């Protein structure tokens, strides 16, 4: 095996283009996947037409809520492009300078302050179906967040006004009496007056007012809670049932390294075995110069070793930009080693089936890419039956198991490293046996 | 049938090969002595490559046996398509197979084969840059690197021009004269007449003739030594219903 290994290293060293492609291509793919997973979609450019006069406020009780706060909330969710008029916004949308426009009308404060009508804003869209879908979704989310923020401010102001009504004081509203008595103070005052009243119709009237004041005090007190319930009817409490909270960027690292590991390993192993067929040397070797098992093991292990070096180099390189726990390096090595060996076994199986290097490479590439994408399909993203089929396919190929092993090694995610390693060992045995079967046919 | 005085290097007895329902070889029996240059001829699908592959240990026989000092992995083998690593040089290919064949002194074996093939000056050249003829010479040299008592060549000149064929036969002839038993298959029947000391004719997996080429010519309408082997061969096959 030593001489075959030396020979393959020599051939690899002389195939500079192949080596270059094997290194550059997976890294490029990995970076693209990593970026796609770790980066949220960019903020859309949205024209903002703010027709409200500067400093305009909405009066709620004694509190004044600045309308510009609403615009600030909205601006934080988009890339705002301030324009002076609706016509300018429409022109910018048509020219493609912005994807959408939001028009905040002049009378928004007056409408909200009236307490009778809702304030409204106008949203203008353009673009193709995909862009529209993206912008609508992001803008709806931005508007919802801005609405929530604004609504909280109004709730606080309303709660303060209710507080004054309950405990007394100055409401600060034009026409309201100063130093008002609070609802909560009325029953005590009335009790003292009623005690001094002789029995009769007046006393009965006062007792009726007293009962109403007590009832109003108790129920207006509840109004504060009701306001917060209306503002946020459902609170979300998150509990992770399985797995570990893996930061998206470190998961992206794991995906990127797993994809590179797979591509290098599968392509190299498949190409190595197929090369023996293409050069017609397989039959010569099989005459007792090298056992088929030894030949396959040599190809698989060489590919695994090369891929492992690349995977480790990638982790080290990415580790400069993303915080990784270097204390777990032994677990990284275990995950990389078992993952690479399983990919190597898949590669030699592909190589044993193909007659030439180009066919093997095409098959390896054609199989690897969908496997990677299938393994990343989250549950719930597709129909139940389809997800089960995807899960079954992912189970019988090494990508998902290698991804889980690496995620466990790098991020401490579940399932644990041990389970993934056992899974990878099983797949190595399966594809190793398939490769041996494929190599039965010599020419 | 020819009778050989020298001890056989290869003994083939009742050899049969089946692929499912198809019978590729039927009860083939012959012997090859040291220094013999035996041509295996026959129409397409006669079983020539199958026979040589079994002799070389690449395939297993369904029945019968191969014996002698030049049987199995001990026989040198040069397949029809050159089996070389094109990214390696001539010397690197020879050295690799010398080591895999556990030759006692690989460097000496490489030097010997470079002299024997006349490729000494191109030892460091990558195989991918060699002409078809030179590749075939390296292909044959790989079969001989372990100094085997017998050599099996599967259509060694099929892709070569006349000049290259001439050089290969000169090389193979020298081998036979030095005592190596050589079996080769070919479709160039003129080569049988010129270079082979003996011809084995196969058709549909059956051995129909085993003797000197001149003998086949003489018994099938030719005129002995100067006769046309191809005409006699075609007449012989016709007479046997092929």
Q: What's the maximum distance between 2 C-alpha atoms anywhere in chain B? A: 52
**Residues A48, A83 contacting (CB under 8 angstroms):** yes
Is the pLDDT at B1 greater than 50? The verdict is: no
Q: Is residue A154 part of a domain?
A: no
A178, part of any domain: no
Tell me if A11 and B79 make a contact (CB, 8 A cut-off): no
Residue of A nearest to B56 (CA): A287
**Whole-angstrom distance, CA of residue A270 vs CA of residue A293:** 15
Q: How far lies A410's CA from each of A146, A253, A394, in Å?
A: 38, 9, 21
Residues of chain B positioned with their CB less than 8 A from the CB of A286: 58
Half-sphere exposure of A14 (CA within 13 A, CB side): 14
**Is A369 a residue whose pLDDT tops 60?**
yes
CA distances from B58 to A283, B27, B49, B55, B64 (A): 6, 19, 11, 8, 16
HEC-encoded secondary structure of chain B: CCCCCCCEEEEEEEEEEEECCEEEEEEEEEEEECCCEEEEECCCCCCHHHHHHHHCCCCCCCEEEEECCCCHHHCEEECCCCCCCCCCEHHHHHHHHHHHCCCCCHHHHHHHHHHHHCCHHHCCCEHHHCCHHHHHHHHHHHHHCCCCCEEEEECCCCCCCHHHHHHHHHHHHHHHHCCCEEEEECCCHHHHHHHCCEEEEEECCEEEEEECHHHHHHCCCCCHHHCCHHHHHHHHHHHCCC
Q: Which of A238-252, B50-64, B94-108, B224-238 has the lowest mean pLDDT?
A: A238-252
Q: Which residues 309-328 in chain A show a CB within 8 A of chain B?
A: none
> Which pLDDT does position A156 carry in this prediction?
78
Q: Which ipTM was obtained for this model?
A: 0.81
Q: State the CB neighbour count (10 A cutoff) for residue B240.
A: 13
pLDDT of residue A130: 59
How close is the nearest chain B Cα to the Cα of A10, in Å?
A: 8
The per-residue pLDDT for B183 is 93
| Structure confidence by residue, pLDDT tens digits, A276-288 | 988 889 888 888 8
Assess whether A25 and A60 both reside in one domain. Answer: no
- Which run of H or of E encompasses A315? helix A292-318
CB proximity list for A322: less than 8 A, separation 6 or greater: A249, A250, A253
Question: Is residue A71 over pLDDT 50?
Answer: yes
Contacts of A4 in chain B (CB under 8 A): 100
**A355 and A387: one domain?**
yes
- State the nearest Cα–Cα gap between A287 and chain B, in angstroms: 6
Q: Rg (Cα) of chain A, in Å, rounded?
A: 35
CB A434 within 8 A of CB A292: no
CB-CB neighbors (< 8 A) of A279 in chain B: 83-86
In a domain, A92, yes or no: yes
**Does any CB of chain B come closer than 8 Å to the CB of residue A14?**
yes
A379 domain-assigned? yes
User: Lowest mean pLDDT: which of A111-125, A273-287, A358-372, B198-212?
Assistant: A111-125
Best probe of the A interface among B49, B76, B87, by most A CBs < 10 A, is B87
Confidence of residue A221 (pLDDT cuts 50, 70, 90): confident
DSSP 3-state percent helix, strand, coil across chain A (nearest 5): 70, 5, 25
A162 pLDDT band, cuts 50/70/90, is confident
**Phi and psi for B186 in degrees, rounded to 5?**
-160, 155
Q: For residues A345, A346, A350 and A352, what is the CA-based torsion angle, rounded to 10 degrees?
A: 20
Q: Are B182 and B175 in contact (CB under 8 A)?
A: yes
What count of Cα atoms within 13 Å lies in the side-chain half-sphere of residue A66? 7
Secondary structure class of A82 (helix, strand, coil): strand
Q: B151, B77 in Cβ contact below 8 A?
A: yes
For the ranges A30-34, A398-402, B112-116, the maximum mean pLDDT occurs at A398-402
Counting runs of H as helices and runs of E as strands, what totals does chain A give? 16, 8
Q: How confident is the model at residue B108 (pLDDT cuts 50, 70, 90)?
A: very high
Among residues A171, A202, A228, the one where a domain terminates is: A228
- Residue A176 token pair: 């309201």
**Do A297 and A358 have their domain in common?**
yes
Residues A340 and A430 occupy one common structural domain: yes
Please state, in angstroms and rounded to a whole number, the distance separating the CA atoms of residues A127 and A329. 48
Nearest by CB to B84, which of A3, A279, A289?
A279
Query: Which residues in A lie closer than 8 A to residue B58 (C-beta atoms)?
Result: 283, 286-287, 442
Q: How confident is the model at residue B5 (pLDDT cuts 50, 70, 90)?
A: low
How far is B15 from chain A, CA to nearest CA, in Å?
19
- Same domain (yes/no): A85, A196: no
d(CA B150, CA A216): 116
Same domain, A71 and A121: yes
d(C-alpha B153, C-alpha B49), whole Å = 9
What are the pLDDT digits (tens) for B116-140? Answer: 778 888 999 999 999 888 888 898 8
A18-22, A52-56, B69-73: least confidently modelled range: B69-73
Mean pLDDT for the stretch of residues A367-372: 87
| Nearest neighbour of A442 by CB, restricted to B58, B99, B100 | B58
Residues A223 and A340 in one domain: no
Which tokens hold the place of A305?
A: 């070793």
pLDDT tens per residue, range A133-148: 767 777 777 777 777 7
Task: Supply φ then ψ for residue B182, to 5 degrees.
Answer: -120, 125
pLDDT band at A49 (very low <50, low <70, confident <90, very high): confident
- Whichever domain contains A89, its CATH number is 3.40.1710.10
A295 and A346 assigned to the same domain = yes
Could you tell me whether strands B206-211 and B198-203 are parallel, antiparallel, or unpaired per DSSP bridges? antiparallel
Kindly state the average pLDDT of the residues B64-87.
83
Q: Which residues of B sit within 8 Å Cβ distance of A?
A: 53, 56-59, 72-73, 77, 79, 81-88, 92, 96-97, 99-101, 126, 142
Same domain for A283 and A349, yes or no, is yes
Q: Do B57 and A7 touch (CB under 8 A)?
A: no
Is pLDDT above 50 for A205? Answer: yes
Higher-pLDDT residue of A243, B241:
B241
How far apart CA A8 and CA A83 sit, in angstroms, is 65
∠ Cα A343 A348 A354 (to 5°): 125
In a domain, A157, yes or no: no
Which tens digit of pLDDT belongs to each residue from A374-397?
Answer: 888 876 677 788 888 888 999 999
Q: Report yes or no on A170 lying in a domain.
A: no
**Segment B129-180, tens digit of pLDDT:** 998 888 888 988 888 888 888 999 998 887 777 877 887 788 888 888 988 8
A416 and A274 part of one domain: yes
Query: Which pLDDT does position A343 carry in this prediction?
Result: 95
How far apart CA B72 and CA A287 sit, in angstroms, is 8
pLDDT at residue A238, rounded to an integer: 53
* Exposure string for A210-245, b = 16+ CB within 10 A, e = fewer: beebeebbeebeeebeebeeeeeeeeeeeeeeeeee
pLDDT at B184: 93
Say if A75 falls within a structural domain. Answer: yes
A144 and A53 within one domain: yes
Q: How many domains does chain A have?
A: 3
Please determine, for residue B220, whether its predicted confidence score (pLDDT) is greater than 60. Answer: yes
What pLDDT shows up at residue B3?
43
Q: Are residues A138 and A273 in the same domain?
A: no
Quick check: A50 pLDDT over 70?
Answer: yes
Q: What is the pLDDT of residue A129?
A: 62
Tell me which residue range forms the domain holding A207. 183-228
The chain-wide mean pLDDT, for chain A, equals 81
A405-413: average pLDDT? 86
pLDDT at B58 over 90: no
**Closest Cα to residue A251, out of A324, A329, A347?**
A324
Cβ contact (<8 Å) for B96 and A7? yes
In chain A, which residues have their Cβ closer than 8 Å to the Cβ of B126?
A: 14
What is the residue-averaged pLDDT of chain B?
86
Is residue A57 classed as helix, strand or coil in its secondary structure? Answer: strand
- Summarised one tens digit per residue, pLDDT across range A314-330 is 888 777 777 778 888 89
* Reported confidence tier of residue A295, pLDDT bands at 50, 70, 90: very high
Residue A233 lies in a domain: no
Check A286 against B97: CB less than 8 A apart.
no
Banded model confidence at residue A174, pLDDT cuts 50, 70, 90: low
Would the CB atoms of A284 and B101 count as touching at under 8 Å? no
Residue with tokens 């001829």: B41
B56/A287 Cβ within 8 A: yes
B72 pLDDT exceeds 70?
Answer: no
Average pLDDT, integer, range A415-440: 91
pTM above 0.80, yes or no: no
φ/ψ bin of A172: left (φ > 0), alpha (ψ from -120 to 50), beta (otherwise): left
């Amino acid at each position: 095996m030593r001489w075959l290994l030396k020979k393959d290293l020599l051939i690899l060293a002389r195939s500079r283009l192949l080596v270059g492609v094997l290194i550059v291509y997976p890294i490029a793919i990995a970076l693209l996947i990593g970026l796609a997973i770790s980066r949220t979609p960019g903020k859309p450019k949205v024209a903002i037409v703010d027709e409200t006069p500067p400093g305009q406020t909405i009066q709620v009780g004694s509190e004044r809520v600045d309308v510009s706060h609403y615009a600030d909330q909205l601006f934080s969710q988009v890339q705002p492009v301030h324009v002076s008029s609706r016509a300018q916004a429409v022109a910018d949308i048509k020219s493609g300078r912005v994807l959408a426009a939001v028009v905040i009308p002049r009378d928004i404060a007056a409408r909200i302050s009236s307490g009778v009508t809702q304030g409204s804003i106008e949203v203008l869209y353009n673009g193709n179906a995909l862009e529209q879908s993206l912008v609508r979704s992001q803008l709806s989310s931005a508007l919802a967040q801005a609405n929530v923020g604004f609504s909280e401010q109004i709730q606080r102001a309303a709660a303060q006004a209710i507080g004054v009504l309950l405990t007394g004081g100055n409401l600060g509203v034009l026409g309201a009496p100063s130093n008002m008595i609070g609802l909560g103070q009325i029953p005590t005052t009335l009790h003292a007056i009623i005690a001094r009243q002789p029995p009769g119709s007046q006393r009965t009237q006062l007792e009726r007012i007293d009962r109403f004041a007590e009832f109003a005090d108790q129920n207006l007190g509840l109004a504060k809670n009701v306001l917060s319930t209306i503002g946020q009817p459902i609170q979300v409490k998150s509990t992770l049932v399985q797995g570990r909270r893996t930061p998206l960027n470190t998961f992206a690292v794991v995906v990127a390294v797993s994809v590179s590991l797979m591509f290098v390993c599968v392509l190299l192993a498949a190409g190595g075995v197929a090369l023996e067929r293409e050069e017609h040397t397989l039959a010569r070797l099989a005459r007792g110069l090298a056992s088929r098992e030894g030949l396959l093991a040599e190809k698989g292990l060489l590919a695994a070793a090369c891929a492992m070096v690349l995977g480790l180099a990638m982790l080290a390189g990415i580790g400069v930009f993303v915080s990784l726990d270097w204390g777990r390096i032994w677990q990284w090595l275990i995950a990389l080693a078992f993952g690479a060996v399983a990919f190597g076994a898949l590669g030699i199986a592909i190589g044993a089936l193909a007659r030439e290097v180009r066919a093997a490479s095409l098959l390896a590439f054609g199989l690897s890419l969908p496997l990677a994408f299938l393994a990343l399909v989250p549950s719930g993203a597709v129909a139940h039956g389809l997800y089960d089929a995807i899960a079954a396919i992912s189970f019988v190929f090494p990508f998902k198991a290698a991804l889980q092993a690496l995620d466990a090694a790098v991020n401490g995610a579940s399932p644990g490293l041990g389970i993934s390693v056992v899974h990878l060992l099983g797949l190595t045995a399966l594809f190793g046996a398939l490769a041996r079967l494929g190599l039965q046919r010599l020419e | 049938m020819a009778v050989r005085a020298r001890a056989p290097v290869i003994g083939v007895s009742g050899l049969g090969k089946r692929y499912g329902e198809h019978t590729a070889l039927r009860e083939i029996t012959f012997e090859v002595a040291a220094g013999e240059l035996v041509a295996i001829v026959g129409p397409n699908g006669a079983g020539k490559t199958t026979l040589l592959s079994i002799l070389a240990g690449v395939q297993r026989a369904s029945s019968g046996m191969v014996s002698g000092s030049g049987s199995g992995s001990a026989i040198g083998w040069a397949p029809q398509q050159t089996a070389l690593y094109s990214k390696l040089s001539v010397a690197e290919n020879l050295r690799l197979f010398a080591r895999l064949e556990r030759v006692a002194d690989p460097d000496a074996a490489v030097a010997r084969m470079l002299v024997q093939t006349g490729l000494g000056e191109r030892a460091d050249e990558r195989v991918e840059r060699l002409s078809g003829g030179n590749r075939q010479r390296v292909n044959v040299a790989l079969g001989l690197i372990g100094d085997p008592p017998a050599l099996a060549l599967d259509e060694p000149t099929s892709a070569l021009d006349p000049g290259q064929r001439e050089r290969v036969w000169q090389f193979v002839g020298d081998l036979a004269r030095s005592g190596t038993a050589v079996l080769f298959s070919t479709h160039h029947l003129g080569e049988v007449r010129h270079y082979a000391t003996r011809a084995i004719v196969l058709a549909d997996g059956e051995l129909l003739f085993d003797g000197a080429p001149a003998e086949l010519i003489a018994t099938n309408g030719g005129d002995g030594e100067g006769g046309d082997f191809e005409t006699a061969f075609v007449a012989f096959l016709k007479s046997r219903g092929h």
